A and B are shown apart, each in its own frame.
Chain A
């Protein structure tokens, strides 16, 4: 039973094994690109926004199990959220949603938060503000 001996929570492993919303998005309203090859994690987050609400989110990630799991869960967390609510999603909330991360993997949750913020910023910079 490898799961039982994993450094990761069941929730992390579940998202790692079955990541949600993987892939690129055609004509996204916002794209976040964070991380670099030196640190070993690269995340790309795409969002589609309708009437100030994030209706779709997708990701592509190069990174460890935690990086994949945080990317996956953050795409779930933002769906259906208003932009201003989504901006409030912190790395702490990502960690909590995954039932915790090992201390050395905390930076992955920070990266997920940054990817989301960067995607929203991209949307706000390129799209006209909703009325």
Chain B
């Protein structure tokens, strides 16, 4: 059976060109970038070349890019780094109720260790109100961290407006741009971000590589101590193949960004429209227009997400859900709840995130398969009877 992968927000396949660019750095150019000899310097050159590429894509300077093990480390570095370097100035951090776990859990951690965290609400589309940010700032605020585009519902936040507010208040501003870099234009000056997280495997690069953009002059402490790599900001021998892969992935993304986003947005809208026509009691989660070009998130009434997901998987279609049933906590997605969805609708959510290899035929296949699955599960659902 042909497998249709529609879970690119979870991870993307590493592009063949990227794999090819990485291969020399496993065995041939295997040197340690910290070594003085030519074997080491060759690897160092490759790392610096990748750094330049990442910097170019987001309008930064090379020296403002620090390589990490991925998006989660970048988020941890940004939040803990700023918090502990600036605690003499204040202990207040502003974030939202729809952050990725890599930010949310760090905020909870800091909250248990003397920091005060404000979790801003969002509207029914998942949008943060910049005025709420402005009002939340106190003389103790040291950091604002707001996701660029939400990974579940795809809503793109008004980051540059918020960045402007942060700048005026002289508060550091971090944005988790893991879902946007390489997919929609990201420029650190336009967004007015002081810190910005990037992950390679979300943009057709390898897993285990990422970066944190740190605006020159930003004070933060290191997360990982040891050798003098990354100008002492991130110790540990560099993941050279991973970093080279990240560099290649951002280079390719930069070349294709506008055209690919347009193609995906067409597929996205076709899927959304098709769902509306073929399935009743289905609703779109997230913003109708201010959303990632590849994200479709819907709630299907009277049925549970995991059971739809399993049925789709049996048909070769890989998607995702915000239902609790896919987690140990039994709580549905905090993002969907923050949007105001009642629990049963959060449990009935499905996320399709499209990517480079997807075609119109894939969208048509989903539209062909899902209505039948929903009908079968609804026939089994005790919720439908009570609603009739």
Contacts and interface: CB of A to CB of B under 8 A. Distances in A.
A112 B85 CA distance: 52
A43 B381 CA distance: 9
B307 A68 contact: yes
A105 B314 CA distance: 20
- Interface size class for chain A? 20 to 34
A28 B328 CA distance: 35
A12 B381 CA distance: 18
A61 B380 contact: yes
Contact of A16 (B310, B326, B382): B310
Given A60-B385, A107-B330, A38 B343 contact: yes
Given A2-B314, A19-B380, A63-B307, A40 B385 contact: no
Given A16-B310, A63-B325, A40 B304 contact: yes
A14 to B, nearest CB: 12
B313 to A, nearest CB: 5
Contacts of B45: none
Interface string B338-351: 00001110010000
- Interface size class for chain B? 20 to 34
B383 A62 contact: yes
Contacts of B310: 6, 13, 16, 64-65
A68 B304 CA distance: 10
A64 B306 contact: yes
Contacts of B326: 64
Interface string A61-74: 11111111000000
A64 B344 CA distance: 12
A37 B380 contact: no
Given A2-B314, A2-B316, A65-B310, A40 B332 contact: yes
B385 A64 contact: no
Contacts of B60: none
Contacts of A68: 307, 380
A40 B382 contact: no
Nearest to B314: A2
B29 interface: no
Contacts of A61: 380-382
A17 interface: yes
Interface in B304-320: 304-307, 310, 313-314, 316
Contacts of B314: 2-3, 17
Nearest to B332: A40
11 contacts: A2-B313, A3-B314, A37-B343, A37-B347, A40-B325, A40-B344, A40-B347, A60-B382, A61-B380, A62-B304, A65-B310
Given A40-B343, A60-B385, 10 more contacts: A6-B310, A6-B313, A22-B380, A24-B385, A40-B325, A40-B330, A44-B382, A61-B381, A103-B328, A107-B330
Interface of B: 302-307, 310, 313-314, 316, 323-328, 330, 332, 342-344, 347, 379-383, 385
Interface of A: 2-3, 6, 13, 16-17, 19, 22-24, 33, 37-44, 60-68, 103-105, 107
